[in-house]
Structure 1
Amino acid sequence: MTDVIVCHGAWHQPEHFRALADRLNRDGLSVAIPDLGGLSLPDSHDLVQSMVDSSVRPPLLVAHSNGGITAGTVRGAASMLFLAGWVLDVGESPQGLIVDVQRRTGRAGAPLAVTADADGRVRLDPEAARAGLYADCDEATATRAIELLRPEPPSIFAATPEQAAWRDTPSHYLAAGHDQAIVPELVAAFAARCSTAETWPTGHSAYLSRADDVAELIGRRRGV
């Protein structure tokens, strides 16, 4: 039985969430962290959907950042917890929302610097990642998280859901008050789409900077 399924964000991998999973295991919760790196949205949906379908009882989906796009398409979860996650409706894409914010506000909607490698994949600039994703993490945690980052295909910016399962699933949004990866207009819009929401004075990666608090939140949402 799997109590919690974690959907990691773009450029990240399951190892980023190992400490959080270990803490949840100590609390008696079983945790699965599928590797979504490099997968298209249909493929990542199919992977997570198969895990939910095979669970003895409906699990809690925990989705960080871009992982929210996948989680939001999966049906049959007991509930969803978005950790500074993207909550997209049918037909929306990250790039489309970023461009729309820039058009409406005149401000750039994509603060994280990326570069293309020889294979055409996009990589996060390490120092931009440190400032934009891990600013409130201790030095050792931030350095390790940066080491674990992986390149992604540019198609991540064009991922467009064909269904919005979050509309029919109880959901909670944890907004990061000092988020440097998602602009405030989008954070507010995503939070409003969820059943409930709260804001913590953290950066984009509270699962690292406040792992114990996030574990307690997950436990409450799972009913522990």
Structure 2
Amino acid sequence: MLSNFAATRARRGRFRRNERQRLTSPPEDVEIERTGTPRSTLLDLEETETVTDVILVHGAWTDASVWHPVMARLWADGHEPTAVGLPMTTLDEDIAWTRRELAGRDRPTILVGHSYGGMVISAAALDHQHVAGLVFVCAYAPGPTDTVATLAGRGREMPGRKAIRFSSDGWTSVAPQGFVDSLASDLPPATARVLAASQRATHSDCLTGAPGAVAWDGLPCRYIQTLDDHMFDPELQRRFVERVNAERVELPAGHLVPLSRPDEVAAVIRGMAANVGGR
């Protein structure tokens, strides 16, 4: 297991050019390796216990507000959702921030990650007795040494990847029109423009960091695959489904599916909570 898991590695000062090139280079003909072990639930739930707590983790170039429509629906169902606002400085710091939110939990909790958020929840759930399951929303499901940069290179070249802009200080953003066309492709134009203009900068260390250890091989998983995604190759998503042995839900939606299809996303989370709560 990963020792001193929440500690931050001091990597932020140097921008790693070779990983940046991998993020924008043509796809590699590499298969996703399955590192999972036979399915076993880390948390033993009483048959009558209901999972109500849900922690939602956003992706790159967005913030916790992408979960607001989903949260409203979960509250209406009697769940207690919390959306984590990540610092987006390094993967380690984002994992640590999520584990801080988990630290105060004393009842079963579902972790949900969107896009880059899948990197975070895969590691944040490690060795935490109250995590009951993981939901990946068009999200990365890494192995211990995988990064967003290396994983993205194993899928098709997507239009959104060409819109990523790298600053000399290591921070990244998405060109406004590229954001509208790729991340927010199925949202109303006015909404898409607002999101593009208020996007959260993401440091390249988030995209080049590896988790070191992951928890999905010991937890029940569900995966929402977005078939009309212009940012994240749907076929690569399918391979993540297979990797984590997840129950899959396909949606004809774009990348920001928590905003465009909140009813369906909430239903998947609700179903996961009911499924693990009835074990």
Provide the residue aligned with 2:160 in structure 1. 111
Provide the residue aligned with 1:104 in structure 2. none
Alpha-carbon shift at residue 162 of structure 1 (Å): 0.6
SS of the residue corresponding to residue 111 of structure 1 reads helix
Write the mapping of 1:47-126 to structure 2, written as runs, cut at 5 A: 47-73=97-123, 74-75=125-126, 76=128, 77-101=131-155, 108=157, 111-112=160-161, 113-117=163-167, 119-126=169-176
Instruction: Give the counterpart of 2:67 among 4, 12, 17.
Output: 17
Alpha-carbon shift at residue 212 of structure 1 (Å): 1.6
Provide the residue aligned with 1:192 in structure 2. 242
Quick check: 1:13–1:37 contact (8 Å CA) kept in 2?
Answer: no
| Alignment of 1:204 onto 2:258 | no
Question: Are the structure 2 counterparts of residues 22 and 198 from structure 1 closer, same or farther at C-alpha, using a change threshold of 3 Å?
Answer: closer
The CA distance in 2 between the partners of 1:109 and 1:19, in whole Å, is 27
Aligned residues: CA RMSD: 2.1
The CA distance in 2 between the partners of 1:220 and 1:190, in whole Å, is 20
Alpha-carbon shift at residue 100 of structure 1 (Å): 4.1
| Alignment of 1:26 onto 2:80 | no
Residues 183-210 of structure 1 show CA distances to partners (whole Å, capped at 9, x for unaligned) of 2342121111233112111111211111
Choose 88-97 or 37-46, whichever is displaced more: 37-46
Choose 161-170 or 107-116, whichever is displaced more: 107-116
| Number of aligned positions between the proteins | 219
The CA distance in 1 between the partners of 2:272 and 2:63, in whole Å, is 23
Provide the residue aligned with 2:185 in structure 1. 135
Provide the residue aligned with 1:157 in structure 2. 207
Quick check: 1:60–1:81 contact (8 Å CA) kept in 2?
Answer: yes
Alpha-carbon shift at residue 109 of structure 1 (Å): 5.6
SS of the residue corresponding to residue 214 of structure 1 reads helix
SS of the residue corresponding to residue 57 of structure 1 reads coil
Question: Are the structure 2 counterparts of residues 126 and 173 from structure 1 closer, same or farther at C-alpha, using a change threshold of 3 Å?
Answer: same
Question: Are the structure 2 counterparts of residues 108 and 167 from structure 1 closer, same or farther at C-alpha, using a change threshold of 3 Å?
Answer: same
Instruction: Give the counterpart of 2:269 among 199, 207, 218.
Output: 218
Write the letter of the residue equivalent to 1:14.
A
Choose 73-82 or 47-56, whichever is displaced more: 47-56
Matched-pair identity in %: 26
Q: Please report the TM-score for the alignment, with normalisation by the length of structure 1.
A: 0.88
Write the letter of the residue equivalent to 1:86.
Y
Greater C-alpha radius of gyration = 2
Write the letter of the residue equivalent to 2:110.
L
Q: Extract unaligned runs of 5+ from structure 1.
A: 102-106
Write the mapping of 1:35-46 to structure 2, written as runs, cut at 5 A: 35-46=85-96
SS of the residue corresponding to residue 72 of structure 1 reads helix
Write the letter of the residue equivalent to 1:203.
G
Write the letter of the residue equivalent to 1:111.
G
SS of the residue corresponding to residue 187 of structure 1 reads helix
Q: Extract unaligned runs of 5+ from structure 2.
A: 1-50
